[in-house]
Homo-oligomer: A and B are copies of this chain.
Amino acid sequence: MISSKEAMKLILDELPIFSNEKINTLQSVGRILKEPIYAERDQPPFDRVTMDGIAVCFAALQKGVDQFTIANTQFAGDAQTTLKDDNYCIEIMTGAILPKNTNCIIPVEYIQIKEGIALVDKNYQPQKLQYIHQQGSDHQKHTEALKIGHKIEPIDISLILSCGMKQILVSSDPKICIISNGNELVAAGDPILPHQIRMSNGPAIMVMLEQQGFKNSQYIHLVDDKDIQKEVINNHLTSSDILILSGGVSMGQADFIPQVLQECGVKNIFHKVLQRPGKPMWFGIGPKKQLIFALPGNPVSTLTCCRHYVIQALQQAYGRNIFVNEYAQLQEEITFKANLTYFLPVKIINSENGILKAYPIETNTSGDFASLIGTDGYIELASEPSLFKKSESLKFYRWKMP
């Protein structure tokens, strides 16, 4: 059986390159940028006034002039006007272009205006170029503002729009089909018999992907019938980029999935991983190089394997160029002797001294998903050593990958 690290490597070796698409900038949060964004103009695009007040020529102030006749008023959005005489000033508003022949702004708080004349406060000490955000001082025209591979956040939207880009090139949303399996499963809302179980894995995988920005997915549920499974999987192999199955991958007599996948022309890359939860995990490659993940059906296993393998792989395939590694300090000693990587759910507290503290929440079994409620993610306990000390720092994975 292979280790969790080897499993991840084998998946990453098979990553497809998703195609790109042009979308509205406003729809692009969470997507990965596939073209560099360049500054459309200098930023600021002109010498930009940053206070309401008057624009004057600094030389006049140096000569001792302390009252200026208002020549005209210039608002933000107005075309640039020109100061024709040093004894005059131009009333000016925040955001306006600096008038020609002026190089100093005196804020409105430090002047008094009477009969068209602005009087500068005796105690105010103006400085040349003060309250002027100079053209190009943030960045210059054609500067690369955002790189390919950048994951787009709301704060980036301002910048992209200010670069004049109404539409941008991002990686396309792959078509994902989620297929859960099992005769025992009954959807919420439907009548249920004592020996049956509520269906939850398919929907949970779908919303987990959605939260990560993968919104082009559907889920279907199949009973444990080889012929039906084969037909449906075959159909989705022609129409989907990614298949995620849950259930039907263990050793049971109704666990047809590995066999059905093979019969559908899916090449198995690995089956079973030295990990808890999720040991029976299966991974393969479809005839058109699709990624095919078959996750164990126990809810904790499904969620953990989905977060750990599926989402990391998709984000990588999506082209993200920064992955954030997180670490947290274990808050109780853990002994774990099995030769397995243990993904242990934790609550995280970011203490007032800036340290991330991980409080383990051991689940009753891998079916005990109620224990997951309130956990923030899981820490990774390597297969060796078997004793993990209090305050030891360990790799931490948020359920919601940052």
Chain A residues engaging chain B, CB cutoff 8 angstroms: 25-26, 29-30, 39-41, 43-46, 48, 50, 52, 73, 75-80, 91, 93-97, 108-109, 133, 137-139, 145-146, 153-167, 182-185, 187-189, 192-201, 203-204, 206-208, 210-211, 223-224, 250-255, 297-299, 303, 324-329, 350-358, 364-365, 367-373, 375, 393, 399-400
A200: chain B residues at CB < 8 Å are 157-159, 161-162
CA distance A352 to B154 in the complex (A): 28
Least CB distance from A37 to B in Å reads 10
Q: Which residues of B contact A355 (CB under 8 A)?
A: 354-356
Q: Could you jot down 15 A-B contacts, CB within 8 Å?
A: A45-B197, A50-B298, A52-B251, A75-B224, A75-B254, A76-B183, A78-B183, A80-B194, A94-B250, A153-B211, A154-B208, A155-B399, A159-B370, A162-B369, A354-B356
Q: For A198, list chain B residues within 8 Å (CB).
A: 40, 161-164
B96:A184 contact, CB within 8 angstroms: yes
Q: Which of B97, B160, B207, B255 contacts A29 (CB 8 A)?
A: B207
What are the residues of chain B within 8 A of A371 when measuring CB–CB? 138
Taking a contact as CB atoms under 8 Å apart, the answer to whether A327 and B299 are in contact is: no
Bound together, the chains give a CA A255 to CA B399 distance in angstroms of 45
Query: Once bound together, how far apart are the Cα atoms of A145 and B373, in whole Å?
Result: 8
Would A352 and B327 be within 8 Å (CB), given that A46-B195, A52-B252, A77-B185 are in contact?
Answer: yes
In the complex, the answer to whether A195 meets B161 with C-beta atoms within 8 Å is no
Q: Which residues of B contact A43 (CB under 8 A)?
A: 368, 370
Task: Give the complex CA separation of A223 and B91 in angstroms.
Answer: 19
A324 to B184, CA, bound (A): 39
Q: Which of chain B's residues has its CB closest to A76's CB?
A: B184
Where chain A touches its partner, the secondary structure class is loop
Q: Are A52 and B93 in contact (CB under 8 A)?
A: no
Q: Closest B-chain residue to A395, C-beta based?
A: B352
Number of copies: 2
> Could you say which residues of chain B place their CB within 8 Å of the CB of A252?
52, 75-76, 93-94, 108
Q: Determine how close the nearest CB of chain B comes to the CB of A338; give it in whole angstroms.
A: 15
Q: Given A138-B371, A327-B353, A370-B138, answer yes or no on A29-B153 (Cβ-Cβ < 8 Å).
A: no
**What residue in chain B is nearest A53 (Cβ atoms)?**
B251
**Contact yes or no, B189 A77, CB < 8 A:** no
Q: Is the pair A161, B203 in contact by a Cβ cutoff of 8 Å?
A: yes
- Which residue of B has the minimal Cβ distance to A367? B133
Tell me, in angstroms, the Cα distance from A22 to B173 when the chains sit together.
29
Chain B nearest Cβ from A91, distance in angstroms: 7
- Are A161 and B97 in contact, CB atoms less than 8 angstroms apart? no
- The 4 closest A-B CB pairs, nearest first, are A77-B183, A77-B184, A166-B189, A93-B252
CA–CA, A29 and B163, complex, Å: 33
User: What residues on B are CB-neighbors of A352 within 8 Å?
Assistant: 325, 327, 393
Contact of A356 among B46, B165, B251, B350 (CB under 8 A): B350
| Contact A350/B364 with A182-B77, A204-B155, A250-B52 known, Cβ cut-off 8 Å | no
Q: Which residues of B contact A197 (CB under 8 A)?
A: 44-45, 76, 95, 162
Residues of B within 8 A of A154 (CB): 204, 207-208, 210-211, 303, 399-400
Shortest distance from the beta carbon of A321 to any chain B beta carbon, whole Å: 12
- CB <8 Å contact, A372 and B155: yes
